[in-house]
Structure formats: C-alpha cells, structure tokens
Amino acid sequence: MWGCPTPFLSRQLQDLRTAIEELADGLEVLDRSNLLGALVGSLDLRTLPVHRWYYYKEGFSPHLPRLLLDELGAGASRVVLDPFAGVGTTLLALQTHPGVSAVLGAEHSPFAHFVAMTKLGSLGLDPRVLRHHADRLVQYRTDFRHVSVPSLSSFANEKIFDRRSLYDLLGAKDAITSDPILNERERAFFLLGLAAIVEDVSGAMKDGRALRIRNGRRRRPNALTPTAGASAGTDVRTLLRNQWLAMAEDFASWTAGCDGHRPKTTVARGDARNLLNLAGHDGRPLLDKSSVGLALFSPPYLNCVDYTEVYKLELWLLGLVESHEEFRTLRQGTLRSHPSITFPDRRRTFDGRALVFDIVDSLSEFLEAHLSRPPVGRMVAHYFDDMYEVFVQLARVVEPGGRIACVVANSTFSRRADHQASQMEVWRVPILTDLLLARLAELAGFDEIQLWTARQLRPRNITDGTARESIVVARKPQQ
Ligand SMILES: C[S@@+](CC[C@H](N)C(=O)[O-])C[C@H]1O[C@@H](n2cnc3c(N)ncnc32)[C@H](O)[C@@H]1O
C-alpha cells in the first residue's frame, strides 16, 4: 500500500506508517467480503424497482440496509436513521420492514433529497393514470418565447446541449410544472423522469469527480426502457416517454409488499453535522436525544467528489438552484470531502489531544507540503474534523445500546515525477479512512468498534495496489 518512496521521504513516511499501525492496534477487523462485497456498491440501483428511477452512482445496494438491520437490530426505539440519505436507498429499502417503527434521513443536496422524497411519495400513485398522463405530457409544445434558460453556462454550451435538445428539455419541464391536472406527487414523478434522462441527451458525462464534456467517449445510458410499449429513438421526447413508462411498470412489483406495516419515513434537508437541529416536514425537530436505535449510512468518501458540481445539470434544470449565489452556498454547505472551493472557516470541535487527530494532522501536513495541489492536504484534515462532528451528533441521537454502521472506502494519494521519458511514482500515502473513522467514533463516545471489510477497490491514481471499502460498526455504551 505504501509503494516505494524515494529515499528522501522514506523516513518521514515510515514514521507515519508506524503511528498508523499503533492506531490500528487492538481493533477488531472481520473479513465479511463474501456477504458485503456486492452490497456496498451501487449496481443494484440500476435494476431494482423504484430505486432504478434515478441512478445514483454514490449509493449502496438496497439489500444492505436490510442486512445491517437484521444483524444489528434497531434498538428499543426501532428507529433507523440515515444521516447521508442520498436518494433515499435506506428509507425505501426499509419502508415496509416489520422490525422498524420509523426510518428517518438527512440529506444536504436538494436534488438527492427531491429524488428520495419523490420515490417515497409515489407509493399509492396509479400506474394507469401515470401512463395516461405520460402520453398526454409528451405531446407538449415548446413556446420558445417563454422558455427561460437556466443561467448555468452548461446550458449555453453547444458541446453539451444542441438547441433542439435544450428547448425540448426546457419545454418538457415547463409542461410538467404548469400542467393543471397533475397533483403534486404526480408532478414530482414526471420531473424525476425528466432528471433521469438529462445526462443521456447531453454531450456531458459524470466522470469520477466532475461533469465533463464527453468528446466521443462511451457513456453507459441511464434512461430506462419499458418492457412493453417502448419507442425507438434517442431524442428527448422518446427517451422521456420510455423512462416514464418504465417507471410506471415498477408499481406492479413494488406495491405488492406494501399492504401491511408502514413505518414513518421522512428525509429532512440539512446537515449531518447538525442532526439535532433538523426539522421534519411538520416543522418539528426530526430527532430527539437518544431516539435512534440504528444509524446506518455512507458519508461522502475522501475522493474529491463535489456532489453539487456533478449533479448541477439536474439541480438547475429542475429549478432547485436558480442563481450562482445559491449554487455557491450549496457547495459550501457540503461535507468537506473535496478541495474545489474555499469553505467558510470551521474550527475543529475536539480541543484535547488524541493520537487519531495527531495522525490526521501529520497526514494533512505531509500532503499539503508534497502534493502538487496543496488544498488536497488541507481537505484531509477538514474531512476528519467534519466526520468527528457527525459522530458527536450521532452519539447524542443514538440510544444507549444502539448501533452505528458507516460504509466508507479508503483513499490513496500519490505524487509522480518525470523520469526517463515516463512518469515514476515518487511517494504514495494510503489514507485508512475506515481506521481513522473508527477511532474518531471511539473518541466521540462509541465502543465495541469493529471493521467489517467488504471489498478491495482499485484506485485510479496509482498503478498497482488496492484500497479497502468497509463498514465501521460501533455501539453507544449502555449508561
Ligand atoms: C455516499 S452518498 C450517500 C448515498 C446513499 N447511501 C444512497 O444510497 O443514496 C453521500 C451523500 O451525502 C450528501 N452530503 C454531503 N454533505 C452532506 C452534509 N453535510 N450533510 C448531509 N448530507 C451530505 C451528498 O449529497 C450525498 O448524497
């Protein structure tokens, strides 16, 4: 994992490595890759009914929340919380589970929040009515004089949208939002279908950390095709109708298991670093102290992905962001897992001395001094400061004896230099995020900490080697 650093830096890296090994001492690590390997990734989100309505590549499998719930229980309260709810995978997966009384979530992105709430709110819609509306809506007429183009520059970039696709997308949005017949849940259903085809009709692609111009590169389509009544074509109207019909087909399998027990499900828009201040839809606090039996979640990974940037087409198209000011504020409110902007000052809330923070600071200082992009080094310290705050909040809302399960992947940072007409790795630093988070959870008051390893990923930025994806499991002690 540590590669072969140049002799100049090897002493410093050896000291770091020794300190990290000390941190790992005594931690219980269980290889659970057989069970978890396929569940920590997002592949199932492409195929499972309703979950597949919008493919969120940062999500985990809907089978994972059920498995974690079966293994860890939901405490006396039987309340499950996902503080990084994304597109609502946990909530949707547990929405009929007999072992829970409520599934609650928090999510910062208005777009992911919209996807989650739309899916959860669609239960009970009538697929025959939806099909009828789909056929009616797809015949919308675009009035070019009244369509307003979002002020995000991507919508004026002809490499991203040709004029025809752009006006078809905006015309569809206008038709859905101004339709006098749809109720609000139906409207959200059709808008979600629109968001799901945007990337496919654009010349852009979500590529790792950013939305990039495709330039002829291959892209896996995200838009759905119904098993019956599909039309051929790649234009906006054809893709939209196919997407809506495919979404409507999911009701047959989805509603089958939904007749009986229905836990309360809701996602609040807000910050996982401030859980006790989240408000539910009725305006009342979403969470009380010691009210959650199981918190299961996957935070943004330490991989420089700026979610606001990656999902900007959807955010602006749906009108969830309308100005650059709003867009900047949104980016600044995310967990500090990316270095693409300057965040407002936020001090570390832990003010004592702890080995885990000493190591975080050493890693951060090393990277700041030796990476070509020093802000990446600062990001490392900020990320763990933020995650410590999340654990402190969780220690307040989780009941005594309750559990947390945090899905996360490790990262590797490296530096290369020119050497005889090729690039040679000068040093490499693995960031064992799972281990650092385990110790931060402990510092925040959790015990019985375990690492369940799930699979090995191949980082893009190093030629050989792997990075672990795992689940940090911990318990809030009984008082
Ligand atoms: C790894 S994804 C979680 C995906 C989720 N498990 C699912 O299946 O949809 C992390 C999520 O955290 C959200 N996020 C980023 N900063 C946040 C914050 N400060 N508070 C709450 N959510 C945040 C991102 O928008 C993203 O949706």
d(CA 17, CA 22): 9
Is 225 exposed, middle or buried (CB count within 10 Å of its CB: 0-12, 13-18, 19+)?
Answer: middle
Q: For 320-371, what is each residue's pLDDT tens digit?
A: 999 999 999 999 999 999 998 999 999 999 999 999 999 999 999 999 999 9
d(CA 271, CA 201): 32
Pick 164 or 401 by higher pLDDT.
Answer: 401
Q: For 213-250, what is each residue's pLDDT tens digit?
A: 988 888 899 999 999 999 999 999 999 999 999 999 99
User: Which ligand 1 atom sits nearest the alpha carbon of residue 106?
Assistant: 21
User: Which ligand 1 atom sits nearest the alpha carbon of residue 299?
Assistant: 10
Q: Are 355 and 18 in contact (CB under 8 A)?
A: no
CB 334 near ligand 1, within 6 Å: yes
pLDDT at residue 209 in the model: 79
Cα–Cα nearest to 240, from 190, 315, 312: 190
CB 108 near ligand 1, within 6 Å: yes
- Over residues 14-43, the mean pLDDT reads 94
CB 308 near ligand 1, within 6 Å: no
- Over residues 120-139, the mean pLDDT reads 95
pTM of the model as a whole: 0.96
3-state SS class at 454:
strand
d(CA 74, CA 402): 7
Joined together, the tokens standing for residue 219 give 């892209």
| CA 26 to centroid of ligand 1, rounded, Å | 30
pLDDT at residue 259 in the model: 64
Q: For 423-462, what is each residue's pLDDT tens digit?
A: 788 888 999 999 999 999 999 999 999 999 999 887 766 6
Is residue 6 very low, low, confident or very high in pLDDT (cuts 50, 70, 90)? confident
Q: How far is CA 163 from CA 158, 186, 268, in A?
A: 7, 28, 37
Torsion-angle region of 464 (φ positive above 0: left; ψ -120 to 50: alpha; else: beta): beta
To test the pocket of ligand 1, the residue of 51, 60, 84 to mutate (highest count of ligand atoms within 8 Å of its CB) is 84
Say whether pLDDT at 257 is over 90. Answer: no
d(CA 141, CA 172): 8
d(CA 159, CA 217): 13
- Over residues 38-53, the mean pLDDT reads 96
pLDDT at residue 205 in the model: 94
DSSP line for 46-112:
GTSTTGGGS--TT---THHHHHHHHHH--TTTTEEEETT-TTTHHHHHTTT-TT-SEEEEEES-HHH
User: Which ligand 1 atom sits nearest the alpha carbon of residue 56?
Assistant: 9
